[in-house]
Amino acid sequence: MNATSLVAEFVAKSRYEDCPEPAVDAARRAILDCLGVMLAGSGEPAARILQQVAQAEGGMPLCTVVGTGRRTGAVWAALCNGTAAHALDYDDTNFVLMGHPSAPVLAAALAAGELTLADGRAVLHAFLLGFEVETTLAEVINPPHYGHGWHATCTLGTLGAAAAASRLLGLDAVQTRNALAVAASQSSGLKENFGTMTKPFHAGHAARSGVLSALMAREGWTASERALEGPQGFFAVLGAGKQALEPLATLGAPWKILTTGVAVKPYPSCACTHSIIDGALELRRIHGFRADQVEEVTVGVASGVPRILIHPRPRTGLEAKFSAEFSAAAALADGRVGIATFQDDRAQDPELRRLMERIRMVVDPAIPDDLERHMWTRLTVRCTDGRSVSIGPRPVPGHPANPLSLETLREKFKECARLVLPADRVDSVAEMVESLDACPDLRSLTAILDPGR
């Protein structure tokens, strides 16, 4: 099977009219959520550093750096916006991708869409195509790819971003194949960098690489016709032994955004902490114990989770996002978890650190390792008065099996957007995204993402 050409043909020849309305609606919701966390993340240190570099080194000011009032070249805008979207680790996930599908694809689509004066419908279509490509390719090589240490948000997100950008730049099938091949050579991202600024950079790097690859291909750049499936191609090198090409025959039939779904994050931390947080909050709410009454907490997880939650004693807010011990301690002590939870001062808080000493993460063999349930946990709290209470594995809010309501999703967007935009602008942005397919010019949306406008 010529996989590279097959994917390129799908991207170049897909028609918006053939996209089912449920898939389009799911894309609108994903874009609303991702744009909100992109706005909120635009003020984070990792995003600020890249914004400064872009200001010094960037190209023609054609594309928006969301939440800043600045414009720069398309490649730099994609890098800044992709990094901002992932800076809080509040952006959506997909269990087949084993990563974050929307951040790299949306950042690439915004940059390429502004560059080509695209309308909202074209951006929606490109987003769907990017999501479809990255999640279908994930079915080919995951979970061994992710288990081997690759951060799929970057490796597979680069190809999704290239697909979205190629579509918006109007590339034909041959040019799209070359763009995908160039993107495949730029795929990277190591899980060892979790808990540092480099993790959100992965999403920005993927978006930047996707846009750059499409721009190069548009100008006539060439690359291998078999960059994905060749003996030294993407699948062979990054597949960690798995290379099942059958999923490629299902591109768009059905759309993966409907079958594998989008998991919207209720908490701004690694998805593997969400069941821990949700369980701790529920136990505290039901049983009414205080943090100083907690004698011991056992967090049971699936076998692969300890390689993701790698910071048992976090020193920073970023490391705390990848800590089972901190997540449980913060939920039990505070009774709520939000953006303010994962700050450096909270990671160093003496009360939380004392509580973390009484929390241990263990592998629970009863929790399955399959893609749908590997993030579930079993939480047991033993109190100083002799009580022992526990909560078993289950889908958390935002999981495809337990999705957030549209109203809850809107509230999350507003919470994030209000950190950057004037309050009277937030509703306007949300309304425009929810009717994006009717937007005649993407720039009418990006223009109101300027906080000073």
For 218, the domain range is: 3-266+428-449
Residue 119 CA to residue 116 CA, distance in Å, equals 9
> What does pLDDT average to in each consecutive run of 10 residues of the chain (453 residues)?
93 97 97 98 97 93 96 98 98 96 98 98 98 97 94 98 98 98 97 96 98 98 97 93 88 96 95 95 94 95 94 96 97 94 95 96 92 90 95 89 92 96 94 96 95 78
Give all strands (DSSP E) within 66-168, no chain letters: 70-72
Confirm whether 408 is domain-assigned: no
Domain for residue 243, yes or no? yes
Take residue 326 and report the two structure tokens written for it.
């901190």
Closest CA to 429 of 28, 21, 20: 28
Single-letter amino acid, residue 201: F
Instruction: Give Rg (Cα) of the chain.
Output: 21
CB environment 319-356: b (16+ within 10 A), e (fewer): bbbbbbbbbbbbbbbbeebebebbeeebbebeebeebb
In this prediction, residue 1 carries a pLDDT of 63
DSSP string, 187-225: ---BGGGTTSTHHHHHHHHHHHHHHHHHHHHHTT----T
| Token pair of 294 as six digits | 């907690």
User: What pLDDT is recorded for position 242?
Assistant: 79
CATH number of the domain that residue 339 is part of: 3.30.1330.120
Residues 197, 302: one domain?
A: no
Q: What is the pLDDT of residue 453?
A: 66
Query: Do 236 and 380 fall within a single domain?
Result: no
Query: How far is residue 259's CA from residue 138's CA, in Å, rounded to a whole number?
Result: 14
Q: What are phi and psi of 5, to 5 degrees?
A: -70, -35
Query: Taking a C-beta distance cutoff of 8 angstroms, is the pair 391, 283 a contact?
Result: yes
Residue with tokens 């400064």: 52
DSSP alpha helix (H) spans, 313-384: 317-320, 324-334, 344-347, 350-356
Question: What values do phi and psi take at 37, rounded to 5?
Answer: -70, -25
Q: What is the largest CA-CA distance in the chain?
A: 72
Residue 413 domain flag? no
- Judged by DSSP in three states, 336 sits in coil
Q: Which residues neighbour 286 within 8 Å (Cβ) at sequence distance 6 or greater?
A: 389
Domain membership of residue 418 (yes or no) is: no
> What is the Cα–Cα distance from 418 to 40, expressed in whole angstroms?
8
User: SS3 of 441, please?
Assistant: coil
Instruction: Supply 400's token pair.
Output: 């495809």
292 in the same domain as 245: no
In this structure, how many other beta carbons lie within 10 angstroms of the beta carbon of residue 247? Answer: 16
Cβ contacts of 164 within 8 Å, gap of 6 or more: 105, 108, 109, 112, 126, 127, 129, 130, 210
The residue whose two tokens read 């390689």 is 307
Beta pairing class for 378-383 and 359-363? unpaired
Asked whether residue 131 falls in the same domain as residue 212, the answer is yes
Does the residue 402 lie in any domain?
Answer: no
In a domain, 62, yes or no: yes
Q: Are residues 227 and 319 in the same domain?
A: no
Give the number of domains in the chain: 2
In terms of domains, do 375 and 241 share one? Answer: no
Residues 39 and 128 in one domain: yes
Nearest to 217 by CA among 276, 254, 260, 175: 175
Assess contact for 166 and 194: CB atoms under 8 A: no
Nearest Cα residue to 3 out of 274, 359, 262, 245: 245
